[in-house]
A and B are shown apart, each in its own frame.
Chain A
Amino acid sequence: GNSVTQMEGPVTLSEEAFLTINCTYTATGYPSLFWYVQYPGEGLQLLLKATKADDKGSNKGFEATYRKETTSFHLEKGSVQVSDSAVYFCALSDRSSASKIIFGSGTRLSIRP
């Protein structure tokens, strides 16, 4: 079945460091891929998405490229800020899954000033 695997946290970085959070997926067909972010005490927010191979999603300085050959959708940011501290979830949606989204387990990111 469909699944999402993302790197375990917590990840702790200093401000202005480069961020990569790895995400790989297993799916039949051609899924859409997402990154969601959850700030402390809040619900999940869609951060970015990509709907087909080689698409690059971007938002708030974050980027992720849909790589079908490696079944990956790694999240990157060139210079993180303290305000980026949150939990990040990789997810996929496949039309065959009856509108459901499969979420990864989440990666907690903490940024030191």
Chain B
Amino acid sequence: NAGVTQTPKFQVLKTGQSMTLQCAQDMNHNSMYWYRQDPGMGLRLIYYSASEGTTDKGEVPNGYNVSRLNKREFSLRLESAAPSQTSVYFCASGGLIVNEQFFGPGTRLTVL
């Protein structure tokens, strides 16, 4: 049982480049989430998907897009990376009963 997996683990981009962060879960959860974590800022929600086929903005959606490809997969895309998007990105999926979330190992992204 792999839980929540994320790829890649590390990435360095130049300003203006694009990339997609991949996330998959094997727990049959309906809800999936993308967060960013910056020093001293805690976790901030970027986008979430309450169920397959739906996505909604979180606290800090600007500069990002998401796709809920199917029930298992939820990707995050940076169309034109900026240095302000240097961060650690976490994907999570949520259980049905009490909404507890399970996190992936994170992607460390540096934008130069």
Contact = CB atoms under 8 A, between A and B. Distances in A.
A95 B31 CA distance: 13
Which of B42, B104, B106 gathers the greatest number of chain A CB atoms within 10 Å? B42
Interface in A21-46: 32, 34, 36, 42-46
A98 B56 contact: yes
B102 interface: yes
A43 B106 contact: yes
Main secondary structure of the interface of B (DSSP, over half): strand
The interface size bin for chain A is 20 to 34
Interface residues of B, number: 24
A32 B100 contact: yes
Contacts, number: 56
B31 A51 contact: no
Given A43-B90, A44-B90, A100 B45 contact: yes
A45 B31 CA distance: 17
A99 B42 contact: no
Contacts of B94: 99, 101
A111 B38 CA distance: 23
A99 B105 contact: no
Nearest to B98: A32
A93 B42 contact: no
A62 interface: no
A100 B98 contact: no
Interface in B24-55: 30-31, 33, 41-43, 45, 48, 50
Contact of B98 (A49, A89, A105): A49
Contacts of A104: 42
A32 B97 CA distance: 10
